[in-house]
Structure 1
Amino acid sequence: MAKLKQKKARGKKVKAFLEFEELIRSLKLLIALALLITSIAVTAAGFRNLDRPLTNIVVKGKFSHLDQQVLISILTNELQGGFLSLDLRELKLIIETHPWIRQVTLTRQWPSTLTAEVSEEVPIARWGKHAFLNYQGKKLEMEHSRTLKSLPELQSPFVSSEQMMQQYQVLTQQIASTGLIIERLVCDSNGLWSIFTSEGFELIVGRDQLLLRMRRFVLAWNFGLDTRLHAIKRVDLRYPNGLAVSWKNQSLDAPETRTISYIPTVSFVQRPA
């Protein structure tokens, strides 16, 4: 009988102990939850305190064609968020859609300043009458100005602006050793390429084998064609082994064809295709 009572007493103690442990666990969970809520509230309050409105916009860069105030206006209109919440990556993508902005780097400066370092697009050539092209052939829309009038003109209804710029750069390299400058490059609706040089004469390059024909012209130029520079009206490169020169002077107006080989000679060959 006594042993039974002792067993019951021990059972009550164990039960009380387990209940106490459960209570402690519950209290710990409540305390942890309270601490978490407090931490979140403090963090949110701190974030709100740090996420101040951006009240100062600083734009850096060299601008020749882009209006700095226009850029500041674009930045102001696109600001969505405060010092911390502003998505700089998204804003960068929006700003770089402007045709005259090549690249922009955005940085925050405490407490409420946004700095934009801008690289402006550089026009390399005129594209028709109403646009310019950068070095990649990307169109830059703006009205022509006197400061850009000296840029070479690229024109074609046949190929894209990107292809025209690529071909312009290649042909410029080919002709560089002659001292001539390409003032106008045209690819017509039939795919015929023509160059108008700074010395006032035209180079008819043709539809294919452009690099081979340009090398042939450079060779002829170095073999003495340059000595009659001011008399040249037109040079036709569409011959299998040479080129034809038309002269400004009417007495020299009969086309002269030079066959280019290791030893240059002058001869008349078949008409160009």
Structure 2
Amino acid sequence: MAAKIHVFVVEQDVFGVWNNDLLLNKFGDVFYADGVAVDESLPRLFGPEGNEKDVLKGYVKMQHLLDLHKFKIKEAVLSERYAWQLWLEVGIHLNLGRSDKMKRVQRFVDLYPILSEYGDKDIARVDLRYDIGLAVAWRDKHNNES
């Protein structure tokens, strides 16, 4: 009697990079692909193990809101304490905290036109963890120092 081996191949479409060492599909499933060149434009998503789907869902919702204002998330992090941080492709770091992430992203996009007009400075970081308002760290436009 000959033994049979059944091989199943599942094609995966890469949505993003998970915790810098795994890949993530559009359903939030992680997988490993040895020797595959990963597109640098894919979002980098980070979070506690087992929270892949939550991080993906949060990323998609926040990216949809930011798309309306021509911002792209380069990296999204959900910390062990469930606080969100985003790094945008334009070089801005957003600290959103643990609650009301969508309201805080909306506050950023509402105030960005005013903030972006601030003299010879570029926005480096925006801390949106406050119930109202925000704190901004600036970078000199000419030498990129904070």
| Change in 2 beyond 3 A, CA 1:126/1:238 | same
Is 1:137 the counterpart of 2:57 in the alignment? no
Secondary structure at the counterpart of residue 20 of structure 2:
coil
Within the alignment, does 1:176 sit opposite 2:67 as a pair? yes
Q: Any stretches of 5+ residues in structure 2 without a counterpart?
A: none
User: Deviation at 1:237?
Assistant: 0.7
Q: TM-score, normalised by structure 2?
A: 0.82
Correspondence for 2:136: 245
Deviation at 1:227, TM superposition (A): 3.8
Deviation at 1:143, TM superposition (A): 3.2
In the other structure, the counterpart of 1:30 is none
**What corresponds to 2:114 in structure 1?**
224
1:214 and 2:105 correspond: yes
- For 2:49 and 2:96, the matched residues in 1 are separated by 16
The 5-angstrom pairing of residues 75-90 of structure 1 reads 77-78=5-6
C-alpha distance 224-145 of structure 1, shift in aligned 2 (>3 A): farther
| Structure 1 runs (4+) greater than 3 angstroms displaced | 143-147, 226-230
Report the TM-score when normalising by structure 1: 0.46
**Residue pair 2:15, 2:42 contacting (<8 A) in 1 also:** yes
* 1:263 equivalent in structure 2: none
1:150 to 38, 41, 63: 41
> Identity percentage over the alignment?
25
RMSD of equivalent CA atoms? 2.6
State the number of aligned residues: 139
String of CA shifts for 1:28-70, please: whole Å, max 9, x gaps: xxxxxxxxxxxxxxxxxxxxxxxxxxxxxxxxxxxxxxxxxxx
Amino acid at match of 1:225: L
The answer for unaligned runs of 5 or more in structure 1 is 1-75, 79-93, 102-119, 254-273
Note the C-alpha offset of 1:144: 6.2
Q: Could you tell me how far 1:146 is from its partner in structure 2?
A: 3.7
Aligned CA distance change for structure 1 residues 191 and 147 (closer, same or farther; 3 Å): closer
Distance in 1 separating the partners of 2:42 and 2:22? 12
In structure 2, how many angstroms separate the alpha carbons of the residues matched to 1:176 and 1:134?
20
For 2:127, give the aligned amino acid: D
Mapping of 1:96-135 within 5 angstroms? 98=9, 101=10, 120-135=11-26
Q: Partner residue of 1:166?
A: 57
CA deviation digits over 1:161-203, x for unaligned, max 9?
Answer: 1111111101101111221111110011121100011011200
Could you tell me how far apart the structure 1 residues matched to 2:139 and 2:124 are? 5
- Residue aligning to 2:77: 186
Amino acid at match of 1:231: D
Within 5 Å, which residues of 2 pair with 1:15-34? none
Is 2:90 aligned against 1:199? yes
Change over 3 Å in CA distance of 1:150–1:144 after alignment to 2: farther
Instruction: Kindly indicate whether the alpha-carbon contact (under 8 Å) linking 2:19 and 2:46 is maintained by their aligned counterparts in 1.
Output: yes
Question: Residues 65 and 106 of structure 2 are in contact (CA less than 8 Å); yes or no, is this contact kept in structure 1?
Answer: yes
Contact 2:116/2:122 (8 A) holds in 1? no
In proportion to residue count, which structure has more helix? 1
Structure with higher Rg: it is 1
